[in-house]
Structure 1
Amino acid sequence: MSLPELLAAAASRARCDGVLLSGGLDSATVAWALTKAGLKPVGFNTQYAPAPGSDVPHLMEVARALRLRVVVSWVGEEEAVKAAEEVVGILKVFNPMEVVNCAAAYVSMRAAAEMGVRRICTGDGGDELFAGYEYMQRMEPRELDEYIRRLAEGRWYFCAFDVGKALGVEVAAPYLDPEVVRYALSVPAEEKVRGGVGKYVVRRQFQGLLPDSVVWRRKDPIEVGSGFSALYDVLARRAEGYSADIPVQGAAKYLYKAFRERGLTYERDKESPCPVCGYKLRDGYCPMCGYYARA
């Protein structure tokens, strides 16, 4: 079976009545798969009103092509910061990248919950399985194949599942369906990255099924597509004057304040501690505060 057929089968099993829709390749293909399965999900997106991101024109093009209803939540600074604080409490980390990205998803899923959506689908897994990230596209083919295989064995994390649970909304990710994962692992790296373009095999198979501007859209992280990247500076400003008991800086400092105000704690590691917060490093990366030891 082709990837579109496998995704449609996975979407049929997921039976989502909502979809997080950025207008990027992964969410668009999932929305397509849901409609192919005979479903009409509502698309949900969040935008930072003071400085909107890049998503809206693309998600509207997907909505027109698939004839879907779309709900865009436009949030101001206070609501965006509040969403970030709520995500700190849900994920129990003060990692700015994780929290800021998930804050946008939180607002979208909260809107879905308020509308009575029971299950929402996401495009999680598409980038990991088909080399959507720039750093993956720089890897040698054999290295990339092995890296993706390790991810698929459980070394990935998607915050949407925890956020959805907190909001009372079931979350499903068709790309994480076992049949789709099995297919992805059978595709060699040379088919996933071609001419410096990631997810090439996905783009090629969906050409003609979705608008070309969506099929060949560059990868924009959630924070960029939603405009929530502006929160890094907002949070950093709000951290001014706060005295933390660890050498955390910028947005992480404000999120650490929110973390502590919620009475949250974490274990320090003795063997491989993060030099900022003391949490256990994983391949030089700290999931708690976002520190990364670059080679």
Structure 2
Amino acid sequence: MTVEPIDGQWAEPEAGLWIAIQGYPRWSEPRLEKEDRARGSGGAIAAAYRERGERLFELIRGSFSLVLVDTVRGRVIAAVDRTGQRQLYHATHGEHLAIATTAGGALAAAGLDRRLAHQQLFHYLYFHMIPAPGTAFEGVHKLPGAHFLGWQGGEAKVAPYWVPEFSEPASASAAELMDLLRKAVGHAAQGESIGAFLSGGLDSSTVSGLLAELRPGEADTYSIGFDAEGYDEMAYARIAMRHFGTRAHEYYVTPEDVVGTVPKIAAAYDEPFGNSSALPAYFCARMAADAGTRHLLAGDGGDELFAGNERYAKQGVFERWGRLPGSLRKGVLEPVLTNLPGRPNVLRKARSYVEQARTPLPDRLQSYNFLHRLDPAEVLTGDFLETIDLDAPLELQRSTYRRPAHASALNRMMYLDWQITLADNDLRKVTRMCELADIEVSFPMLDDDLVEYSLRIPSRLKLRNGRLRHFYKEATKDFLPREIIDKRKHGFGLPFGVWMGRHAPLRDLAYDSLSNLKKRGYIRPEFIDEAIRLHREGHAGYYGELIWVLMMLELWMEGHST
């Protein structure tokens, strides 16, 4: 077997144990905390393994990736933390197993040929990244959050070691939530030279404010702005900065920044990555590094724990349809609503509502995915279509959505987002860009105690009468500025489509990349030309994002010589 390469190697030769650990594991048992202080994390992991075997992960918390090799039993165990803050890739070749923290490392260690996985390239076009367990390369897989790999006798298995158990109690304590938030930031803010991302949203403002409590007058916050209408929320970051008294650092990203940096960002990822907010995340991290900050706290995760994504409220409207008696829906309402007289737009909206309401979750979440709204044969070449399963993305989402037992639709949607939107998109965006800027990052909102507490908040309080994050907002209303409590969700979106229309070098970069992508044999050239035409004719935001996704695919391939 081959394990390449993971920091924090630890060995217990007399017991035949070899352990590699990365990250910051914590322990649910005091005796293991004591072992960690005495012998390090490796010693605590060895003690947990002797006690529980493959069930050792019942005792581990925090952010981590680990590999344990038991040469006596001929066994390998590898795992990543519950929310996928860390990553591990694995590959088998004959009877050999390779594990690495990068896809390329696993590919090389296993001695596999470098072949792109067509199915996963389709997943990239569908999700704008590649969700676990797939990777861009044939024969290489990555562990999803809260999963472990067990390998013995040449046989490998991958299974979850933790699945959340949601409950629906009558009430929840706002004071307890605030206490847990303070403890989570305290756990993460260890050491010197620590700052925080600050977008002016709920989570970054909470983390920044709690850091300011810990370090009055000495909390550095880093914010990104854009000189583009509808994209800049620097005003909210400044409200939070003044409210908490942080030392503000600001940078306005320009189209020139995009042209000069985007090929580097595309190549920095192990796999194609199409989240355009990676670029402002990089500039924020680089600004922090230039200012001498070595460790940033990020607010990612709060929306997925406390119901902050707009689609959760929207799906609640459709879920009401399913609770109506079937005879009423099918015998009365559907015929009436799909044949309403009057204006065409009223009829179109009624039909759209019925069509979406009849589609079950989680499939309905992808109603606006362009690969569902268009015939795939209009988008993809015939040769590429023959190599992929068009249903695979939905099957992945369905299996994940069904995993938690006895969970509400809201909680299932949030768990689905933990596994895909958060672990393989938002966290990868931040962690990789911080690595590129040579800076460390932690996610206090994903502290295990906070995660477990979120499971005990009733769904009706997480999202109430269409109000996103109702319980969280009520719990933090005396801490956060009112303007931030009431603001609409925004984020670090990049005005790429707008800038591309008026900045020639950026437009040239995009068009040159798309021209090269046409030759790859995956996307129909006619579809690429149509996307460019629609962008030029006024659909700058929507088609700009599509062009970004396609451009990043080509730039990634060029950066990795594929």
Q: TM-score range by the shorter chain?
A: 0.7 to 0.9
CA contact (8 A) 2:220 2:248 kept: yes
Q: Counterpart in 1 of 2:187?
A: 13
Superimposed CA distance per residue, residues 142-199 of structure 1 (whole angstroms, 9 cap, x where no aligned partner): 1111232454568732121122123221101111000111111111211111121111
CA contact (8 A) 1:137 1:196 kept: yes
Q: Counterpart in 1 of 2:292?
A: 116
Superimposed CA distance per residue, residues 187-243 of structure 1 (whole angstroms, 9 cap, x where no aligned partner): 1211111121111111111112121011121111320xx655645756666332523
Structure 1 residues 228 and 180: CA distance shift in structure 2, 3 A = farther
Aligned residues: percent identity? 23
Distance 2:561 2:305 in 1: 33
Q: Counterpart in 1 of 2:558?
A: 261
SS at match of 2:408: helix
Q: Counterpart in 2 of 1:37?
A: 214
CA contact (8 A) 1:161 1:171 kept: yes
Q: Counterpart in 1 of 2:32?
A: none
Distance 1:24 1:155 in 2: 18
Higher strand content, 1 or 2: 2
Superimposed CA distance per residue, residues 52-88 of structure 1 (whole angstroms, 9 cap, x where no aligned partner): 7331111111000101111111222121233333321
**Unmatched runs of 5 consecutive residues or more in structure 2:** 1-174, 317-406, 529-546
CA RMSD of the aligned region, Å?
A: 2.5
Superimposed CA distance per residue, residues 96-129 of structure 1 (whole angstroms, 9 cap, x where no aligned partner): 3x1x111111100011111111110111001111
Q: 2:516 aligns with which of 243, 246, 267?
A: 243
CA contact (8 A) 1:85 1:258 kept: yes
CA contact (8 A) 1:130 1:192 kept: yes
CA contact (8 A) 1:50 1:76 kept: no
CA contact (8 A) 1:191 1:201 kept: yes
Q: Counterpart in 2 of 1:67?
A: 245
Superimposed CA distance per residue, residues 26-74 of structure 1 (whole angstroms, 9 cap, x where no aligned partner): 1101112212333632111122335573311111110001011111112
SS at match of 2:196: strand
CA contact (8 A) 2:278 2:430 kept: yes
| Farther off after superposition, 230-239 or 25-34 | 230-239
Q: Counterpart in 2 of 1:274?
A: none
| Farther off after superposition, 3-12 or 78-87 | 78-87
Structure with bigger gyration radius: 2
Distance 1:80 1:153 in 2: 29
Structure 1 residues 83 and 128: CA distance shift in structure 2, 3 A = farther
Letter in 1 for 2:523: P
Q: 1:131 aligns with which of 307, 315, 336?
A: 307
TM-score (norm 1): 0.79
Q: Which has the higher contact order (CA 8 A, sep 6+)?
A: 1
**Unmatched runs of 5 consecutive residues or more in structure 1:** 266-295
Letter in 1 for 2:555: A
Distance 2:498 2:188 in 1: 34
